[in-house]
Each structure stands twice: as structure tokens, then as C-alpha cells.
Structure 1
Amino acid sequence: MNADRLARALSGWPPPVLDPAGPYSEPVTRLAWALLLGGFGVLAVVIAALAIAIWGGPALKRRLGGDRAIWIGGFAFPVIVLTALLIWGLTLTSRLSATDPIAGEMRVQVTGEMWWWRVAYLDESGRERIRDANELHIPVGRPVMIELASADVVHSFWIPRLGGKMDMIPGRTNRLRIQADAPGVYAGQCAEYCGGPHALMGFVVIAHTPADFVRWQAGRTAPARPPESAGRRLFEQRGCAACHTVGGTAANGLAGPDLSHIASRRSLGAGILPNDRPTLSRWIADSQALKPGNRMPAYRQLPADELRAITDYMGSLK
């Protein structure tokens, strides 16, 4: 596997959890540092008070104020400090839970599946405009409201540099707002154990300049015209079309990711593998060897020429 391609595919991974890159992650980071430092301070005072209570002699206790100092340091101080941190933290992060619409914000629906992410870009009325999987494209400096749902079990959406963590619960829609202040690639991860290859359920956000995002969006909304080829016919004949959609073709399966633009994605397997021809061929032939437990069956029975044709067809879908 090409190391440069792997590095590009996994750019931003592992996501630094204390390096905010947007206005909806900065308060979370500030609160995390305050809780860490405050917690260590409280722990130090409580340990000192406990040590004095157990091992301090009468003379030392009298000099420090006697039992009253132990009660102040070991009980009153932690209660006051932790209560203050709680109130400050709730005040600091109150706007992060606000779901009232913001003028000009983008709307996206992300659905957690075992073990990948279904992505739908919505228009102002909530109708689906663009369908994708396992990565999200956003413009820099524009808030994005993500509507989070689950198709099976509890998942959790977390892009540490762009926002907080939000659970995805079956039968319920939660909302999370993110924003990137600079172009780049921001990695994330399912943060709630969901069985099987949970640890291999990654996600990527690509933040574009506004002009680049308009070009990307125009390319995705243009009518799909996949080429006629032997690989396309085999894709439809060998059962791939039953689970996957390819725009502009008879393939309209919904069980697996939409593959209309698979060749333009940065990674395969939900953010864990580089998207190149050798890896794509291995994934088609035996995805279980690369991501054990995922729901795509192995196609080891495909002859080499058919596997090559399908891989070439997938590689043409940009």
C-alpha cells in the first residue's frame, strides 16, 4: 500500500481533540482545559487535607486552623469550585445546543449505519439535493447544521476540531452545528461503541474555500453520465446494484453507500483506507479482510478479468 496515498487518505487522523478550528469547538476545548486544571487543583487540595487529617500531628493541625481547615479544604472548597465550574460550563456551552436556524447556514443529514455514514445535503425546504457517504464537504466560514440520525443502533458523531460530540439515536433526530475557520481536512470518529468494527468507523470533513465549494457542488448536482463499459454491465449483473446506487444507471440499491462519485472520495471503508485502484480492487474482492465484520459480502468468486473491469468502472465514477 502506497504510504503517501495512505497519509493523504488519513490526513487529519488521529484528530487532535484540544486544537479547535471553529467557533463551535473552541468553547468545548476551553471548557475541557478548565475542567482538567480545576480537577487537578481540587484533587491536590483534597489529598493535602486528607494527608493532614490522617498523618498531621496536633501541632500542625492547630497551626493550619484545626479541624475547620480540614472541612474547608476537603469539603467546602471542592463543592464551591466544582459548582462554579458547572455553572460556568453550562453558560459557556449554552449556544452549542441552540437549534434555531441561522441565516445562510447549510443543512446536512448524516445517518449512522453499521459501520459507515450516509450523507445527504439538504435544500432550504429539507429536500435531498446531493447524496454521498463517509465524508462531508463544507465551505469555510459558514455554519453547517447537521441533522443526526441512526438506522440501527446508537452511534455518536464527533469531529473534535469542529464541534462537540452528539449521539445518534434510532427513531430520533439530534442536531449539531459545526463550522471550519480555515480550509483543510478534519477527521472524526464514531464515539459510541456500536459493535463489530466500531473502531474502524471514521469520518472526514473537507472544508473548501467558498469558490472551491461552489465548484464542488456544481459537479455533484450536474446530471450523472457514467460511461458504458463491461465493468458497468458486470456491476449491475453481479449483484452490486442491489445494494448500491450509481446515478444515471439502473443501480438503485439503498443498503450500502451511494457510489455515484466514489472515485472522488479521499478514502474507502469509512475513512480507514486510501482510495486507490489496488485498495479498491481488494475491497471489492474481499472487504472482510480489510474491515472484518462490515456488512459487504466478499466476492472472491469473481474472475480476475471481471474484478479488474468492475474496479476500472468504479475508478471512473468521479
Structure 2
Amino acid sequence: MRRGAVAPALPLALAACTGVQTPLDPYGEQAGRIAGLTWLLFGGGTAIFLLVMGLLALAILAPARLRRGMGSHRFVLLGGIAFPVATLAALLVHTLGVSRALVLPAEAAPLRIEVIGRQYWWEVRYPDAGEGAVTANEIRLPVGREVELLVSSADVIHSLWLPNLHGKIDMIPGRVNRQRFRAGRTGALRGQCAEFCGLQHSFMAFWAVVQEPAEFEAWLARQRAPVPPPASPEAARGMRVFGEAGCGACHAVRGTEWQGRLGPDLSRVGSRLSLAAGALENRHGTLAGWIAGAQDIKPGNSMPAYGRALEGADLLAVATWLEGLR
């Protein structure tokens, strides 16, 4: 490769080591251990590759006397058996130590968060906060506090992966798996379903927002509280249309008669970073577009398209009301 072609590639390679969805930019101790093991494997693999290439060059270019020595039984036993066995054994012991450290609890009473995988979205519950602390497609975390995720599935096998904080964990119907971690700094991190679960698997993402403890507690209090009344006549119209269209049969909105469980809880949908499990940015236009054409945007999901059932003004009114639920 020419030198001029290497320079543009370096920023791209380095950029892959940082960001909101990479195990190489750890936000906590567990992800830091995984990143350290990753760099050890990268470095060790590179060193062994260079060593093998060097020995190959010697076997081809070295004087005959040295090449005969490299073909001796002693050299083969040391380089071909003893060295790999010792290296792999040391790596195994180190890896087992890292694996043990990843599963050992650090606190007796972590913050428990239930995450239920569904085709193709995430239900998130905070059982320690009491009834009503429910959201969707977004996990809020307090910085510096240990968290225990209790993950399960309502349909098929999913896998939750939040690479900046921990490794992958399977979500299996009828079983609850657990994962503990602690975020060391604030930020918005992206997670993903890492097990093929159907047509829209690649669009089954979520955001994890790490906040200061006081900010997190304020957010949690808002989640438990009933939604505020509509702030404008258009929002009031949107709330009425929401009920008339039967949306409450699938969605819950706290403080109202609508307590559906088939779809995401919409009580504070206006405060979330994304719609449709990371498929869209959350703003007024995308809210209306999602309601109108959910099957065009994300075919195969359970949300019907209301583009023909509702007039444009009604669609915009519903989006206005939902956007105000913060």
C-alpha cells in the first residue's frame, strides 16, 4: 500500500475506537476490562504475527547453518509446542480472571432495571421505584451507582448489547438473565439487539442515558407521575383523536384510562431521544410520520399505519400531544 493511502485511513481507524457504540471507549469498569482484554488480544496477535513472519523470512533468507538449526527437533518442540501452549495457557488464566471480575457483584443493593425484549422494541421497568416507572426504548442510569439489568424476552430470543458499559447478554423467553455494571461518566450511549430476531432486527436499538444522580431521580419522579393535561387546543384535539382511534388498546398513558400493554408506554414519549427503537429521531415531524406510515418506515412491526384512517390535521394534532408528554 502506498504511504499516501495510509494517512487518510488512520483517522477512520482511530475514530472506531471512540463513540457512543463501541467497546473500545469504556464508560465503566466492566467495559474497561473488556476493552483491556481486547487490546491485549490485538497486541498479542500482532506480535505473534510479526514473530512468525520474521521466522519465515529467516527460514528463506538465512544462511544454511541457521536454517538447519531452525529445522531441528529442539527448535520445533520449543517454538511449535512449548511456546503456543504456554502463551495460550497464560491467556486462558487471564481471560478467566477477567470473566470472573465481570460477574462478581460490587454492591448488595444495586438499582434494578427490568428490560423485556419484544419484536421489535424494548420495554424498560424500574421495579424499585414502584408502580408506574415504565418507559420504552431508552434506559436512564445514575452515574456512579451499580445497576443490575434483569433481562428477558416476551417472544423470541433477543440479545442486549450496550458495548460502552458491558458485553452482550441473551434475552430468552421464560428466563431472567442478570448483568451488573456501573457507569463512570455521563453521556448518551447506543445499544443494540445482537441476536437475529426477525425482519426488523437491525432496527431494534435503544439509548442509554447516564445522568447525574439528582437529575436521574427527577426523571424517575416524572415517569411515575400522571401526564399533564394538554397544553393547547391542538394538543387537546390530539388527545381526543388518540382515544377515538383506539390507540389506548395497545399503549399506556399514565393518568388516563389508556393502559394497553401491547405497545410501548407513551407516558413520557416526548422526552425520549428516538422513536421506533432507534429508527427515527424524536421530533414533531417524525412522530406524525411514524403514526401515518409505521409499516413503510419499519415493515413487519406491530404498529398499524394510520395515514389513511386519519386526516392530516388529526395526525399532526396527535403528534403535538405526544410531543408534549415530557
Shorter-chain TM-score tier: 0.7 to 0.9
Asked if 1 retains the 8 angstrom alpha-carbon contact of 2:113 and 2:126, the reply is yes
RMSD: 2.4
Pick which of 237-246 and 256-265 moved more.
237-246
The answer for the alignment partner of 1:38 in structure 2 is 44
The answer for the alignment partner of 1:290 in structure 2 is 297
AA matched with 2:194: A
Q: Tell whether 2:98 aligns with 1:95.
A: no
Change beyond 3 A, Cα 1:183–1:84:
same
- CA-to-partner distance for each residue in 1:285-308, whole Å, 9 max, x for gaps? 001222233221211212112212
Q: Tell whether 2:233 aligns with 1:230.
A: no
Aligned mate of 1:138, from 135, 138, 141: 141
Change beyond 3 A, Cα 1:42–1:153:
farther
The answer for the alignment partner of 1:8 in structure 2 is none
In the TM superposition, residue 229 of structure 1 has moved relative to its aligned partner by 2.0
Q: Determine which structure has greater relative contact order: mean sequence separation of CA pairs < 8 Å that are 6+ residues apart, divided by chain length.
A: 1
The answer for the alignment partner of 2:13 in structure 1 is none
AA matched with 1:278: G
The answer for the alignment partner of 1:116 in structure 2 is 121
CA distance in 1: counterparts of 2:258 and 2:139, whole angstroms? 23
Q: Tell whether 2:80 aligns with 1:74.
A: yes
Aligned mate of 1:188, from 170, 173, 191: 191
The answer for the alignment partner of 1:107 in structure 2 is 112
The answer for the alignment partner of 2:250 in structure 1 is 243
Asked if 2 retains the 8 angstrom alpha-carbon contact of 1:49 and 1:74, the reply is no
CA distance in 1: counterparts of 2:314 and 2:297, whole angstroms? 20
In the TM superposition, residue 29 of structure 1 has moved relative to its aligned partner by 0.7
CA distance in 1: counterparts of 2:225 and 2:251, whole angstroms? 20
> Residues 1-318 of structure 1 correspond to what in structure 2 (within 5 A)?
15-46=21-52, 59-64=65-70, 66-98=72-104, 100=105, 102-123=107-128, 128-227=131-230, 229-301=236-308, 302-318=310-326
TM-score, normalised to structure 2's length?
A: 0.85
Change beyond 3 A, Cα 1:174–1:274:
same
In the TM superposition, residue 132 of structure 1 has moved relative to its aligned partner by 0.3
Change beyond 3 A, Cα 1:291–1:56:
farther
Change beyond 3 A, Cα 1:209–1:45:
same
**What SS is found at the alignment partner of 2:30?**
coil
CA distance in 2: counterparts of 1:52 and 1:76, whole angstroms? 20
In the TM superposition, residue 271 of structure 1 has moved relative to its aligned partner by 1.9
Unpaired segments ≥5 residues, structure 1: 1-11
Count of residue pairs brought into register by the alignment = 304
- CA-to-partner distance for each residue in 1:6-35, whole Å, 9 max, x for gaps? xxxxxx965122011111211111111112
**What SS is found at the alignment partner of 2:29?**
coil
Asked if 1 retains the 8 angstrom alpha-carbon contact of 2:20 and 2:188, the reply is no
- CA-to-partner distance for each residue in 1:252-307, whole Å, 9 max, x for gaps? 11111000000111111112321100010000000122223322121121211221
CA distance in 1: counterparts of 2:237 and 2:181, whole angstroms? 42
- CA-to-partner distance for each residue in 1:139-165, whole Å, 9 max, x for gaps? 110011000111111111111111121
Unpaired segments ≥5 residues, structure 2: 1-17
Could you tell me the percent identity over the aligned residues?
43
Asked if 2 retains the 8 angstrom alpha-carbon contact of 1:45 and 1:73, the reply is no
